[in-house]
Amino acid sequence: MIVASLLAYAVIRFGYREGDSRSEPAQVYGSNQVEIAWTVIPILIVFVLAMSTARITSAVQDQQVPKDAVNVTVIGHQWWWEFRYTDLKITTANELHVPLSTTAERKLTFLTLKSADVAHGFWVPQLAGKTDVIPNRTNRMWIDPKELGIYLGNCSEYCGTQHANMELRVVVETPEDFEKWVTQQQERAAAPESAENQRAFLSSACIACHTVSGTRALGRTGPDLTHLISRQTLAATEVPNNAATLRDWIKDPQRLKPGNKMPTIKLNDTQLDQMVAYLTTLH
């Protein structure tokens, strides 16, 4: 609109007037200096940008794993995240704890990404870009979290009906808090407060898929439950983790997350209560 009005104005205002000569105006060739300047300067800018991009890219890709780095194998499952701290001998799910990295004390976390089934994508926007999590292929990435807090992430590659609920959290904590968390996670499962409740759990079908360290529950297809209650959320961060949500989840896992791989196991109210009572002791 503005351009059109200015154009119309120029056509009318500077059009042919009485007394103008009908001959063509003098043809002026531009300026070599100006031509060279506006050709060379953009080339230099592109060159500088390309070089600095190449330098940063190679610095990111060639990052060596420092000795004190935290190494975690991330395994994408339909539809949850498994985190195995290979050196620390910890296995947990959906909530990744990492230490804060400061300029004075740099603490990097290296992630090795694998998939147990289909293609997923590991994406925590505030910490790093997306990295594909592909079956039969190992991808790597690293993070250098500079601020304390909880960072939310989501699977970034469509992987089936519950793709949108394949969420995760990264808990960035002080090195002291991280150490505390590690120590706590390395402990074996708490001794059962009630042998009867534990028996209810250990004689259920749950143990085919879930592990509770130190017991005969050694299943690997579902999340490790050894320190279940230390996690803030349930079902790949969908709901807060407490006795009520846990009970609802076990009673009918398909209600909260239709299509997920956890089968509904027929349990009467007493059995359900025993199961929840046992699981809530797993701090």
Q: Which residues bind ligand CUA (CB under 6 A)?
A: 76, 79, 120, 155, 157-159, 163, 166
Closest CB to ligand CUA among residues 132, 144: 132
Task: Determine the Cα–Cα distance for residues 132 and 154; give it in Å rounded to an integer.
Answer: 12
Task: Determine the Cα–Cα distance for residues 212 and 279; give it in Å rounded to an integer.
Answer: 10
Residues 107, 181, 281: CA angle, nearest 5 degrees: 160
Q: How far is the CB of 151 from ligand CUA (least distance, A)?
A: 18
Closest CB to ligand CUA among residues 152, 218: 152
Distance of CA 154 to the CA centre of its chain: 5
Closest CB to ligand CUA among residues 118, 190: 118
Q: How far is the CB of 72 from ligand CUA (least distance, A)?
A: 17
3 half-sphere exposure, CB direction, 13 A CA radius: 0
Closest CB to ligand CUA among residues 73, 215: 73
Structure tokens, 142: 């690293």
Q: How far is the CB of 96 from ligand CUA (least distance, A)?
A: 15
Q: How far is the CB of 194 from ligand CUA (least distance, A)?
A: 37
Single out the residue of 182, 217, 191 nearest to residue 202, CA to CA.
Answer: 217
C-alpha dihedral over 169, 175, 180, 183, to 10 degrees? Answer: 90
Structure tokens, 193: 């407060």
Closest CB to ligand CUA among residues 123, 201: 123
Q: Is 273 exposed, middle or buried (0-12, 13-18, 19+ CB in 10 A)?
A: middle
Q: How far is the CB of 128 from ligand CUA (least distance, A)?
A: 17
